[in-house]
Chain A
Amino acid sequence: MGMIGQHLLNGLMQGTIYGLVAMGFTIFFGVMNVIKFSHGDVLTLGAFGGLVAVWAANALGLSVPLQFIVALCVAMALTAVVGAGISHFLIMPLRNAPPLNMLLMTMMVGTAIREAIRLFFPNGTNPQRFPELLPAGGFNIGPSFFRTDAIILIIAGAASIGAVYWIINHSKFGLAMRAVAEDTETARVMGIDFGRIIPLTFALGSITAGFAGMIYALYYSEINYSMGLLLAVIGFTAAIVGGLGNIWGAIIGGYLFAGLQTFVVAAMPSMSDYKNVFAFVLIIVLITWRPTGLLAERGSERV
């Protein structure tokens, strides 16, 4: 186990992606009691939007740092608009319908996004190579190799988690969001514009997906139309484990899942094929032990 530092870095990187996805799930559920299963596909859409932006920026002759900024902005703006659109046109009209209808509807929206990428993106059925926009290489500490891009992405991921936390807990919009999450009717009576806050909340949750999509694309240098599927399942699981509706729970759930996956490969390399099975089985045990999640019972305030 001379590579503990390396495994730790790998786990942190994956955990950051999972945590960001889980955070989106928890925002949607915390405010609207909605499990938005199209979240993974919105992430994919963000990554593809970022890829197109890189191509365009490259064609315009922009420098690599500018290409990176353009791609990031386009990915986040695209997912924000799509997230807000889904909430305004699809979720709001169905808000009094049974939760199952909402779940099915968001799954169908996700399938539509996924298939649209596959069918309409040029050569969309095949994996797409994502240009390397971050500094390559890295440095060794003992036997461990620390990738420069991974360190940048982990710091960026942690900063974005911090930013979302700040928005929710210290901004006026966050206050309105928490008020809606706590008691929708009272919030409306108090003058909170419900029709504005909900799409903005979904835009915020979807921006985290767009950001996670970009981290994924930059780290692996490859994206594909179905990449959001497993990420959504893992992100949702992480949100449940942490306690659906609790931001810190979602983050802990994300890092826990990544930690379990990494541990299996590090401890039993010949069992690496079973890392998802092992992680999901442990999660099942954990959920059975604490059905409301790891943190939900401690702090009842949502979001």
Chain B
Amino acid sequence: MGTISKRGLAALAVASVLPLAFGSFSAAFAKDKVKIAFVGPLTGAISPHGIGGRNSAELAVKLMNAEPNAKYEYELVVLDDECKPNVGVQVVTKIASDRSIIAAIPHYCSATAIATVDIFNRFKMPMVVWAAVLPEITYAKKYPEVHRVSGILIGQNRIGAQFMKARGYKKFVSFADSTDYGKSMNKYFTQFTLENGNEILGSFSVPPDQQDLSAELTKIKELNPEVIYFGGLTPLGARLRTQMAKFGINAQLEGNSGIMGDAFVNAAGPELAEGTLTFFDSPPMSKMPGGKMFSDAYKAAGYSEPPEAYGPFAYVATRLVMETIEKVGPDRAKVTADLGDVKDRPSIVGPVTFDDHGQNITPLTTSYVVQDGKWVVWEESEYVSGKRKLKNLP
């Protein structure tokens, strides 16, 4: 065995110590990775909304990860619920049973959300709904895990009924999809419209994927309403508008948050969409407290798809979950407890305050009308000045 020189020994010592030193050095700067899940319809007819929400949630994660003071590095696990309750149950069970995922930002579609709330409760996984507006999601049961930043459809229908009464409309027909969401829309539309002393000539309910509406529209034409109320989502809404025109039905179309967004105007076409009314629980992005920041950041991120109406809410829900994890750590029970106490939390859509059912109580219902292929706030539209007119005004 040969001898080792002093210099060789020193080099060996340095060589053996260096990796340890660098290891501990980099470990001091590495952040723990925390997984959160986003669930929405990424395929199928509702996918423009799901993709807009996904991009917005992803943007929130990117911006948080870029913050030097953030304690954790966040990873967004994205899953597709196809806007189908059975698929929603599968994907939510998958993420809820994965203990490495701390919280979820789920669902655009109410029919899917109402099918999965029990799973979040059973697996004790905190979540913040980003879009689905069915009241029962938060109010049917008192689950501490369930929260929602978007509004509920009761307010939209109340404001909508008042709006139509103020314009002098009296004769309505209801056309809703046959999901829980559509039924609930029809229920509150009927309640507020009748309370206002107006008349509902008929109510129609069709599956959301029904293509042929000719039999229903024939009956509606016979009833000759001034207004057709629509309670459903974009694909069926656009189909209704297209086929109304083909049947020569000149009624005013009254929608709600289900058709809010660029996707409806694109699917129906700007000409047919013109004058469609909608009541949505948020002011336009330009009037949101952080609307400009969100809009600029979204543009800078280079997404090719628009955020759609609920993108800012997906951003807020994701941001809220991450802020809570920053505060209490990546622990499901602690995150659930802390989300329950959210009051006047600043966000890009305005302050978020959860009531005792986890429902954000501060959304502002705003009336919109399609003008030249864009959703415009009613008060700022040419319909107010009288330059353009709604259909069938009495």
Contacts and interface: CB of A to CB of B under 8 A. Distances in A.
**Do A and B come together as binding partners?**
yes
Contact of B215 (A147, A149, A216, A262): A262
B270 to A, nearest CB: 12
A126 B48 contact: yes
A302 interface: no
Interface stretch (B217-225, B289-297, B341-349): B217-225
Contacts of A137: 248
Given A126-B48, A270-B203, A273-B178, A220 B211 contact: yes
Interface in A136-151: 136-138, 143, 145, 147, 149
Contact of A272 (B47, B215, B243): B215
A107 interface: no
A253 B326 CA distance: 64
A6 interface: yes
A147 B207 contact: no
A129 B267 contact: yes
Given A265-B216, A272-B206, A273-B205, A227 B211 contact: yes
Interface in A203-257: 216, 220-222, 224, 226-227
Contact of B221 (A6, A270, A272): A6
Interface in B189-203: 202-203
Interface string A88-132: 000000000000000000000000000000100000011101000
A277 B4 CA distance: 90
B212 A220 contact: yes
Contacts of B209: 226
Contacts of A226: 209
Nearest to B217: A10
A270 B176 CA distance: 11
B115 to A, nearest CB: 19
Interface string B267-286: 10100000000000000000
Interface string B111-137: 000000000000000000000000000
A266 interface: yes
A259 B254 CA distance: 31
A149 to B, nearest CB: 8
Contacts of A118: 43
Contacts, number: 88
Interface residues of B, number: 32
Contact of A221 (B178, B204, B242): B242
Contacts of B100: none
Contacts of A272: 204-206, 215-216
Contacts of B222: 2-3, 143
Contacts of B246: 136, 147, 149, 221
B43 A125 contact: yes
Contacts of B206: 272-273
A149 B214 CA distance: 14
A275 interface: yes
B41 to A, nearest CB: 9
Given A138-B248, A221-B242, A222-B239, A125 B218 contact: no
A143 to B, nearest CB: 7
A79 interface: no
Nearest to A275: B215
Given A143-B222, A145-B247, A14 B45 contact: no
B215 A127 contact: no
Interface of A: 2-3, 6-7, 10, 13-14, 118, 125-127, 129, 136-138, 143, 145, 147, 149, 216, 220-222, 224, 226-227, 261-262, 264-266, 269-270, 272-273, 275
